[in-house]
């Protein structure tokens, strides 16, 4: 909303992204972010590699990890230039995407109906509330018994964990919609299904996307837990496997990779949310990530 009064055409797609990026460079945000990361790396370096303080010296330091990460000929066998690094990232990403997508496709409609229909909620909510508090790790044995191989149980666990979050948030989202919107829709002559599409769905979007951001984090969390217990590939497996054979440098590298990839995925969810809720993002005057 920089060009007030002037009805210039709004940038779209990639142009919009560039515009937002350019604008964000004029705010302190990116510089603070870099400063924060720099400070963290410096502390890590000082504790670990410079002063070598207990217990930090027991783990690989930042210089060591970054050198290894960027090395064409890594000491421990994995870096940005080896294929298995990307295979692990890709395998984990694929699992998270499938799990997250399944959870969204199932959880959002379920939550919408639970919030919308008292009767439906009375049927389903007790079951959901009983299953939801069971920690995802407690589902691991069951998943292994139910499904063969590595892929299906891991995806199952990721789906399950994020499904609960999504369904619950969506339901709360519907319940948070102000009664006056329903009344307004009612006297404008909406039938029930119209109200569902035109009030319930858009009205709960803010909660749904809050839920989705949490849910993709939960998907990563349970995925990695599952991969660490039983896996063949993936970042969780990479962490566990390198730990087993004392490749701590590779282990830390995998952890940091996980963090970065996780950040990117939730930023993507956030961006999608802001895109779908322009009415809100605009009002708040902020543009994502």
Partner 1 sequence: MADAPDMMQVNNVSKAFGEDWEREMVIENLSLKIRRNQLTAIVGPSGCGKSTVVNLLAGFEKPDSGQILLDGRPVTGPSKDTLVVFQETALMPWLTTYQNVTFGPKLRGDIPRDQLKEAADSIIETVGLKEFRDKYPLQLSGGMQRRAELARALINQPLVMIMDEPFRGLDAMTRQLMQEFYMRLCEQEARTNVFVTSELEEAIILADSLVVLSNRPATVREVVQIDLPRPRNLEMLSSSQAYEYKRHAMEMLHEEALKSFKGVGSSSDFLESYSRRP
Smallest separation, CB 215 to partner 1 (Å): 22
The owner of tokens 């990839």 is 261
**Which of the residues 203 through 222 are near partner 1 (CB under 8 A)?**
203, 205
Q: What is the DSSP string of 30-64?
A: HHHHHHHHHHHHHHHHIIIIIS--TTGGGS--HHH
Closest CA to 102 of 154, 143, 159, 158: 159
The reply on whether position 188 binds partner 1 by CB under 8 A is yes
Contact call for residues 84 and 141 (beta carbons, < 8 A) = no
Stretch that binds partner 1, among 104-112, 133-141, 149-157, 196-204 (CB under 8 A): 196-204
Q: Pick from 190, 256, 271, 289 the residue near partner 1 by CB under 8 A.
A: 190
Q: Pick from 25, 184, 245, 264 the residue near partner 1 by CB under 8 A.
A: 184
CA dihedral over 212, 213, 218, 221, signed as positive or negative: positive
Would you state the structure tokens that stand for residue 27, as one six-digit string?
């705010």
Contact call for residues 264 and 213 (beta carbons, < 8 A) = no
Return the C-alpha torsion angle 174, 178, 181, 183, nearest 10: 110
The reply on whether position 180 binds partner 1 by CB under 8 A is yes
Stretch that binds partner 1, among 22-30, 41-49, 124-132, 191-199 (CB under 8 A): 191-199
Cα separation values, 118 from 154, 167, 215, 217, 283, Å? 34, 15, 25, 30, 32
Stretch that binds partner 1, among 123-131, 165-173, 211-219, 279-287 (CB under 8 A): 279-287
The reply on whether position 278 binds partner 1 by CB under 8 A is yes
Q: What is the DSSP letter of 80?
A: T
Cβ closer to partner 1: 132 or 280? 280
Q: Pick from 277, 286, 287, 288 the residue near partner 1 by CB under 8 A.
A: 277
Stretch that binds partner 1, among 83-91, 179-187, 221-229, 249-257 (CB under 8 A): 179-187
Stretch that binds partner 1, among 62-70, 78-86, 95-103, 173-181 (CB under 8 A): 173-181
Would you state the structure tokens that stand for residue 34, as one six-digit string?
């870099």
Cβ closer to partner 1: 133 or 285? 285
How many Cβ atoms are within 10 Å of 238's Cβ, its own excluded? 30
Q: Pick from 25, 131, 264, 283 the residue near partner 1 by CB under 8 A.
A: 283
Residues within the interface to partner 1 (CB under 8 A):
1, 178, 180-181, 183-191, 194, 198-199, 202-203, 205, 277-280, 282-283
């Amino acid at each position: 909303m920089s060009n007030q009064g002037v009805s210039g055409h709004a940038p779209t797609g990639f142009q919009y992204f560039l515009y937002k990026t350019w604008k964000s460079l004029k705010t302190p945000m990116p510089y603070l972010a870099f400063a924060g990361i720099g400070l963290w790396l410096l502390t890590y370096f000082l504790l670990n590699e410079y002063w070598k303080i207990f217990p930090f010296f027991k783990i690989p330091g930042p210089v060591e990890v970054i050198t290894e990460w960027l090395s064409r000929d890594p000491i421990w066998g994995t870096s940005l230039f080896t294929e298995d690094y990307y295979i692990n990232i890709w395998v984990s990403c694929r699992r998270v995407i499938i799990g997250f997508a399944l959870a969204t496709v199932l959880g959002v409609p379920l939550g919408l109906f639970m919030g919308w229909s008292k009767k439906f909620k009375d049927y389903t909510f007790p079951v959901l509330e009983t299953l939801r508090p069971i920690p995802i790790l407690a589902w691991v044995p069951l998943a292994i018994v139910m499904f063969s191989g590595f892929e299906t149980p891991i995806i199952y666990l990721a789906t399950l964990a994020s499904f609960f979050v999504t369904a619950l948030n969506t339901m709360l989202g519907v319940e948070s919609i102000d009664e006056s919107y329903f009344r307004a829709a009612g006297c404008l002559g909406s039938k029930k299904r119209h109200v569902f599409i035109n009030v319930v769905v858009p009205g709960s979007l803010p909660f749904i996307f809050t839920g989705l951001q949490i849910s993709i984090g939960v998907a990563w969390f349970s995925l990695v837990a599952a991969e660490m217990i039983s896996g063949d590939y993936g970042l969780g497996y990479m962490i566990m496997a390198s730990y087993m054979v004392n490749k701590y440098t590779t282990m830390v590298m995998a952890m940091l990779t996980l963090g970065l990839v996780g950040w990117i995925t939730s930023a993507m969810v956030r961006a999608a949310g802001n895109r779908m809720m322009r009415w809100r993002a605009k009002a708040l005057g902020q543009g994502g990530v």
